[in-house]
Amino acid sequence: MGNVHSFEDIGKKIGRDEVYVAAIFYGQAKPSKEELEKLSAVLNLPESHLKEELGESYYPDRGGLISTVPTDPLLYRLYEIIQVFGYPLKAIIHEKFGDGIMSAIDFSAKVEKVENPKGDRVKITLDGKFLPYNKW
């Protein structure tokens, strides 16, 4: 199927977004049987190897990658963004939607490169369903 150079390339070839594909490789998403078949073809790997690692008995340990403040500079900055702007974002979400959370299950993410003469920009879009807290 040709050379594959990026998560975006793989995603296009299996019909998934690059962020979802990266999540598979970092153990944060469980690929379907069909996705494993496509990954096998795209990556030129035996399907049996992928099924052994990511097949029916595999379940992701979502969110289990980091238990302390990350030391990787990019991950630390994302953590810092939440530390500094988390409560302001939470307050605005509550103002606009009410008391609840943004789903990380009914969710998608997108990373875009925005060219700028002062230096290229990183644009991250997090799109999650709003889930109001139940009252009983």
Tell me the pLDDT tens digit for each residue of 40-74.
999 999 999 999 888 888 888 777 767 788 899 99
The fraction of the chain above a pLDDT of 90, given in percent, is 71
Catalytic residue among 103, 108, 112, 115: 103
Which CATH number is 109's domain given?
Answer: 3.30.1160.10
> Helices 33-43 and 47-54, interaxial angle, to 10°?
130
pLDDT in tens, 7-16: 999 999 999 9
Q: Considering the domain boundaries, does residue 112 fall inside one?
A: yes
67 assigned to some structural domain: no
Q: How many domains does the chain have?
A: 2
Is there a domain that residue 31 lies in? yes
121 classed as catalytic: no
88 within some domain: yes
Q: What pLDDT score does 3 carry? A: 66
Q: Is the pLDDT of residue 24 over 70?
A: yes
Q: pTM score, two decimals?
A: 0.76
Q: Is 62 a catalytic residue?
A: no
Based on the residue annotation, tell me whether 108 is a catalytic residue of this protein.
Answer: no
Show the domain range for 101. Answer: 73-132
Statement to judge: residues 78 and 127 lie in one domain: yes
1 domain residue, yes or no = no
Could you tell me if residue 29 is inside a domain? yes
